[in-house]
Amino acid sequence: MHEIADPEEELYRLQADFCKGMAHSTRIHLLRSLKQGEKTVNELARLVGVTQANASQHLAILRQFGLLNTRRDGSSIYYSISDHRIIEACELVRGCIGERLRKEQMVLKVPL
């Protein structure tokens, strides 16, 4: 189906897929909402403010790429973070953005 040429290059691809999981505002919102623990699809859809179907699609992507795990309980399915380093990585990025915004504010507010 698909030969793996360079194992290092393959690792980069996996890493890129992982980052694709974090490369959408809705998915970041979902990840963030799961920071304190597992939640159902409906809870997440409501928290994030998207339709159930849309939330389910994004959650499926996050699960495919390995960022989330699922657990079934009755008719509900609970999603949870698979590795807490994902949250750390998100927070690092958030820190970069925050700092950049502060700098831009600075330039705008103190142009003298």
Among 35, 52, 76, 95, binds a copy of itself (CB under 8 A): 95
Among 97, 108, 110, 112, binds a copy of itself (CB under 8 A): 97
* Planar angle of CA 82, 85, 90, nearest 5 degrees: 105
d(CA 104, CA 99): 9
Cα–Cα distance for residue pair 65/59, rounded to 1 Å: 10
> Should residue 59 be labelled a site residue for DNA when binding is judged by CB under 7 A?
yes
Q: Should residue 69 be labelled a site residue for DNA when binding is judged by CB under 7 A?
A: no
Question: Is residue 25 a contact residue for a copy of itself (CB under 8 A)?
Answer: yes
Closest CA to 41 of 21, 57, 26: 57
Q: Find the binder of DNA among 3, 7, 8, 75 (CB under 7 A).
A: 75
With binding defined as CB under 8 A, does residue 106 bind a copy of itself?
A: no
